[in-house]
Amino acid sequence: MLADMGPFVAVTSPHTGRSPNDKFVANDPDVAKDVWWGKVNQQIPPEKFDALLADVQKHLNASSDLFVQDLWAGADPAHRLSARFVSPNAWHMAFVRNMFLRPTSSDLPGFVANFTVLHAPEMQADPAKHGTRTGTFIVLSFAKRMILIGGTRYAGELKKSIFTVMNYLMPKENVLSMHCSANVGEQGDTALFFGLSGTGKTTLSADPHRFLVGDDEHGWSDEGVFNFEGGCYAKAINLSADGEPEIYRTTQMFGTVLENTVLNPATRQVDFADQSITENTRVSYPMHYIKRHVAGGRAGHPKNVVFLTADAFGVLPPIAALTREQAMYYFLSGYTAKVAGTERGVKEPQATFSACFGAVFLVWHPSRYAQMLGKLLERHDARVWLVNTGWTGGAYGVGTRMKLGHTRAMIRAALSGELSHVPTVMDPVFGLAVPSSIRDVPSALLSPRTTWADPAAYDAQARTLAQMFAKNFEQFADVVDAPVRNAGPRG
């Protein structure tokens, strides 16, 4: 349906999010040695891929209509992927046209696809025949340069499958591929924002005082930072004109695609608070719908890098400066904490560790991306900050969520250089350098222990989280130097 102001609204049930357990990579001999095999990259034999490919082609050939989009991933022409998308669904092709870079009419006659995506959302795979887990499939073949997607209407699979390809190709070209947003200040200073879903990556990078490069996927080359995409894919739950005016404005524009939002049947107005379909409601729009964006999607080397975490345990400081070793530790940890959700009887936050703040999209071992980041940080003297957008004064259910205004003030102080001259206090459990004061931020907020009514309860919770960090990092103990290994929490 069309919403009242023109956006297209699609419902993708029963799949209202990605299906990472249904993602497979063909273990072709030429690439098998490169891939970080396991839960993230599950192997599928090349002959099973071929069988699935034949059946996807047969399914698509029987469609009454097929829609094709030839698009680019990578704003830097030196590191650009040409992708052809084929689907029986017009709205999915409108989605990818929003999300990727659009060649001009003069570019299209000579367009040659480096990768082809065959999208068959209504087709179900046969696990016995095709080697899949269920009828849903997201299967990549780097040897054949093809992606097969089916059994799910969720549009995010189209976007993230290309990101997975870029995560394989870019390091081969000495470009760090990153799950991060990026923006540029009035003085031309670039900042990166890493973070998992729900940490505020899109919200905080869409700062009305800075220019947006991109909200989700970037490369860092010898020339600087460049966006992989030509649009944004923001979470829409509880979106409001007051809280996120730049993003909200796009939901009133023709060409925007809304996923799984609920419409008033009489007025066709969107109820952004309604999560009856899913909490993971989404809005897709081209980059130029954001007024203050960087045309061309390229920027210089970052001066600041921000790691965002939504700590639902309520024990991490709201902002801290990281050493180089701590930056590597927290990058490989990729920590956030999700609230328990609606499952009956579950009251505790759930820790999530996702290497490089995007493990599910990596192809190489996480250590390769971390090593590249470490060298780039050193070479360009970038400062790194850990910012907690989660809870304070107690864990989820007791404490309160950090106010967006306070988080924005802290980040602006960090990016402007103000915090370079502010004394710091060492957090005794996490070993983090916490600024003693920040303009427009209550001083008590900067010390999480003082915000808890029961300091002993804070101490116990902090020790518990520290132990979770240590346990998770055991998997990287043999691939990092001792200074990085020892840069984690002390508790």
Q: Which of 160, 218, 235, 303 is catalytic?
A: 160
Q: How far apart are CA 138 and CA 124, in angstroms?
A: 11
Residue 288 catalytic?
no
Q: Which of 12, 15, 16, 18 is catalytic?
A: 18
Q: How far apart are CA 377 and CA 236, in angstroms?
A: 33
Strand boundaries in 223-318, DSSP class E: 224-227, 231-235, 257-259, 262-263, 270-271, 282-286, 298-299, 302-309
Residue 136 catalytic?
no
The 8-class DSSP code of residue 438 comes to B
Q: Which of 92, 282, 383, 412 is catalytic?
A: 282
Asked if residue 107 lies in contact with residue 74, where contact means CB atoms within 8 angstroms, the answer is no
Q: Which of 79, 159, 201, 412 is catalytic?
A: 201
Q: How far apart are CA 277 and CA 281, in angstroms?
A: 8
Residue 160 catalytic?
yes
Q: Which residues are registered as beta bridge partners of 415?
A: none
Residue 338 catalytic?
no
Residue 481 catalytic?
no
Q: What torsion, rounded to 10 degrees, do the Cα atoms 258, 262, 266, 269 define?
A: -50
Residue 179 catalytic?
yes
Residue 13 makes CB contacts below 8 A (sequence gap 6+) with: 153, 260, 277, 278
Residue found by looking up tokens 């071929």 in the block: 50
Q: How far apart are CA 366 and CA 153, in angstroms?
A: 29
Q: How far apart are CA 338 and CA 348, in angstroms?
A: 9
Q: Which of 63, 116, 197, 464 is catalytic?
A: 197
> DSSP readout, 109-162?
GG---SEEEEEETT----HHHH--SSS-EEEEETTTTEEEEES---THHHHHHH
Q: How far apart are CA 84 and CA 68, in angstroms?
A: 7
User: 204 to each of 175, 186, 195, how far by Cα in Å?
Assistant: 25, 16, 11
Residue 401 catalytic?
no
Q: Which of 48, 153, 179, 383 is catalytic?
A: 179
Residue 58 catalytic?
no
Q: Which residues are registered as beta bridge partners of 24?
A: 42, 139
Q: Which of 164, 177, 202, 336 is catalytic?
A: 202
CA nearest neighbour of 283 among 262, 260, 264, 267? 260
The structure tokens listed for 319 are: 């902002």
Q: Which of 22, 215, 216, 427 is catalytic?
A: 216
Which sequence positions are flagged as catalytic? 18, 160, 179, 197, 201-202, 216, 282
